[in-house]
Amino acid sequence: MLGASLKRLWHKLGSPRWFFSLTTPWVTFFGWSAAILLLWGTIWGLAYAPADYQQGNSFRIMYVHVPAAMLAQSLYIGMGVAGFIGLVWRMKLTDVAISACLPLGMVITALALFSGSVWGRPTWGSWWEWDGRTVSTLVLFFLYVGIYALREAIAEAELRARASALIAMVGTINIPIIKYSVEWWNTLHQSASFGLTQKPAMPSEMWLPLLVMVLGFYCFAGFVVLLRMRSEILQREMNARWVGDWITGRGSP
Amino acid sequence: MIRGALVREWQVLLRAKGAVINPLAFLLLTTMLFVIAAPDAITTDEASAVAPGVLWTLVLLTQLLALDSMYRRDFDSGVLEQTLVSAQVPFVTVLIRIFMQWLSTGFIMACLGPVLGVMLGLSFQALPATALALLLGTPALSLLGSVGASVTVGFNRGGVILALLVLPLFLPTLVFGADMVMAAQAGRSVMPQVYALSLISLVALALAPFATLAGLKISLEMQ
């Protein structure tokens, strides 16, 4: 029973129209959740969370930096998974997903790098340290740039979809290897002690706002990705009847 | 079938000597340029801190230069399409091509490694490890590079995009390769780096030919 209904769901996912009508309420849900969670987390984190006994108030950048860094990686892995599904099952929707995740992922990775740099100034004493995790985030940014350049270079939609799916997959497989090798490199080359790793575990007043912010960032990503996917679907299915009916208000998708 | 493909690739290699010699000339030339640009960085009496990194970076760039033409000639002449259509096991055809590409770039660079090491002022005890590091690391460069080359072969100017796609993937090889030379210079054991480089090359060997095949199919449809 369950297997059959899962299989039906799987086949339905191949239809852009079905996806469009399914996600109409999701956009509202993710949008409002993101707005509430981000507002709540920001006020809680910036105004009410206690100051760090070593870093003072500068640690509050964490509430932007940590969610951004997590989301940056998740979006790339999401593209890799979408690419895998797209290559194996030839689903049209997966390329729509990749094209929606790509710009957001690039911006969020840049935000993670920038906020990390701003946080590094008071904590480590310099705007840029070649720390292991900084470098792997920078490499992640270049992985995004590579796919972006590839997509720009291929004019034909079907081939662009397959080429970027392949490269996203190869990149995703390489992410753990890159992370491990950069950690190895860092342990040998690191001369200064940042004192960040020895920090005691955070009290709950500090990490609960962080949790809210992380959830908020993921809801925001869900909101943006869905919006972009839906407008991309409308653009690609421009000539389909249901799109015309929906836009003129004569029918629902 | 395999023997025929090997013989063909070997003959292509022998007849296109420029494809082998030009990247090597580039490698020697850029090494010389670095030594001239930063003479103080090269010290022959003590362990050099920059030489391993410079050597590996230049090897990466040379490999990148050679990768651009990896499939181009056969792609333009239609030989590639015919081979992939007629081969019983396209996987083996691709593997042989990658092996030959490695033989003409990575293997020769590994043989040349000690010479480059001397040019860059590496200590004598680090020279065998330099050659071994290149021997173990360059297969991964050819394999991963082959994936990038297969996707970009259809582009008119694919060089920059190839670099953007492939250089981030080269990073693990660079880290362990340069570190192995560094460790040998300091007299430390190089076994961890030997294992790491072998692992990276073996993982690439397991996955890259399939990805290359998929990439070539995409490029052939793009024509």
Average pLDDT over residues B5-19: 82
CB of A87 within 8 Å of a chain B CB? The answer is yes
Residue bearing tokens 């689903």: A91
ipTM exceeding the 0.95 mark: no
Closest CA of chain B from A146, distance in Å: 5
Contacts of B120 (CB under 8 A, 6+ apart): B31, B34, B35, B42, B48, B51, B54, B55
A85 touches chain B (CB under 8 A): no
Nearest CA in chain B to A161: B218
Locate the chain A residue with the closest alpha carbon to B219.
A159
Structure tokens at A228: 């972009």
How far is A174 from chain B, CA to nearest CA, in Å? Answer: 7
Q: How near does any CA of chain B get to the CA of A112, in Å? A: 19
Looking at chain B, the number of H-run helices and the number of E-run strands are: 10, 0
Q: Where are the beta strands (DSSP E) in B4-143?
A: none
A37 within 8 A of A213, measured Cβ to Cβ: yes
Q: Look at B221 and A159 and tell me if their CB atoms are within 8 Å.
A: yes
Q: HSE-up of B7 (CA within 13 Å, CB side)?
A: 4
Comparing CB atoms, the residue among B161, B168, B196 nearest residue A149 is B161
User: Considering only CB atoms, which chain A residues are within 8 Å of B222?
Assistant: 154, 156, 159
Q: Which of B170, B141, B71, B165 is nearest to A152 (CA)?
A: B165
| C-alpha to C-alpha distance for B169 and B166, rounded to whole angstroms | 5
Q: In the predicted model, is pLDDT for residue B70 greater than 80?
A: yes
Q: Do B171 and A139 touch (CB under 8 A)?
A: yes
The residues spanned by each domain of chain B are 2-222
CA distances, B104 to each of A81, B4, B12, B42 (Å): 35, 19, 11, 29
Query: Where residue A61 falls among pLDDT bands split at 50, 70, 90?
Result: confident
Whole-number pLDDT of residue A188: 56
Report A:118-137 residues touching B (Cβ under 8 A).
none
Largest pairwise CA distance in chain B: 58
DSSP per position, A107-124: HHHHHHHHHHHHHHHHHH
Q: Is A49 helix (H, G, I), strand (E, B) or coil?
A: coil
Phi, psi (deg, nearest 5) at residue A52 = -75, 140
Query: Which residue, B147, B155, B41, is CA-closest to A173?
Result: B147
Residue A191 touches chain B, beta carbons under 8 Å: no
Residue A191 neighbours by CB under 8 Å, 6+ apart: none
| Average pLDDT over every residue of A126-143 | 87
Looking at residues A218-223, what average pLDDT do you find? 96
Question: pLDDT tens across A3-30, in order?
Answer: 788 777 777 777 888 888 888 899 999 9
Q: Which amino acid is at B95?
A: L
User: Sorting pLDDT into bands at 50, 70 and 90, what band is A194?
Assistant: very low
**Spatial separation of the C-alpha atoms in residues A132 and B172, rounded to whole Å:** 13
Separation CA B94–CA B9 (nearest Å): 11
Does the beta-carbon distance from B218 to A166 stay under 8 Å? yes
Q: What percent of chain B has pLDDT over 90?
A: 52
Domain ranges of chain A: 63-192+202-238
pLDDT, average across residues A56-84? 91
